[in-house]
Amino acid sequence: MNKFSYDIYSYGFALLLKRAVGSEDLSVLHEELETFNVDTDQSSKYHKIFYSLSENHQFFLNFKRFVKDEIRPLFDEDIIFQRKPTFRLHFKGNLAVGAFHRDRDYNHSMHEVNFFVPLTEAFDSNTVWVESEEGKEDFSPMEASYGEFYMWDGANLSHGNKKNTTGSTRVSFDFRVLPKSKYTTSDKKSVTQGVPFEIGKYYEEL
Ligand SMILES: [Fe+2]
């Protein structure tokens, strides 16, 4: 996995989400939840706010510019990308800890490349843990600050979350990119949203 940095002021991702949820500090969002249990910590009111943002929200316009200006240059061919990034809130003291997995086990192409973009400090047990080589299971945390992102192989490397004992909620978004030459039409769908892995549905062209 490789870590890169970018200019936070060009995109304002954290600021736009702070405005959307009405919070000054994304790392303390757990304090504002009225209910907090194993069923709701992956579908909180904040998840609902993020997923209700319209496609024309400034966040998504800036996201597309981010893909074009920061991500496309990392490839030596045309790419397609996950048109709606996935929001993650890894609450302090979270109860729902996802099983470790490889994304290819969930219908994803083994050729996809993952990008992890934290909007708060991502460290220790509040971030994603990933093995260094397929099958090694030597998990280590993807630690990064706001303004940094990881390019990594979530399709083929086992990864997952732990119980967050840091005292700080991690807010991030992530998305997948596919080199255009690896794109084939298929009837496979994403497991979580049931969206077909096709251009115009799960993916978008630059
Ligand atoms: Fe995953």
Give the Cα separation of 125 and 11 in Å (integer).
27
Q: 134: CA distance to ligand 1 center in Å?
A: 14
Residue 107 CB partners (closer than 8 Å, separation 6+): 188, 189, 190, 191, 197
Which pLDDT belongs to residue 39?
Answer: 66
Q: 16: CA distance to ligand 1 center in Å?
A: 25
Q: What is the pLDDT of residues 144-179, one digit of tens each?
A: 999 999 999 999 999 999 999 999 999 999 999 999
Cα dihedral 81, 104, 174, 111 sign: negative
Q: What percent of the chain has pLDDT over 90?
A: 75
Which stretch of DSSP H or E encloses residue 64? helix 58-66
Q: What is the pLDDT of residues 127-148, one digit of tens each?
A: 999 999 999 999 999 999 999 9
65 residue type, one letter: R
* Whole-model pTM over 0.85: yes
Which residue spans within 91-144 are E strands per DSSP? 113-118, 129-130, 140-141
Q: 199: CA distance to ligand 1 center in Å?
A: 21
Q: 123: CA distance to ligand 1 center in Å?
A: 18
The chain-wide mean pLDDT, for the chain, equals 92
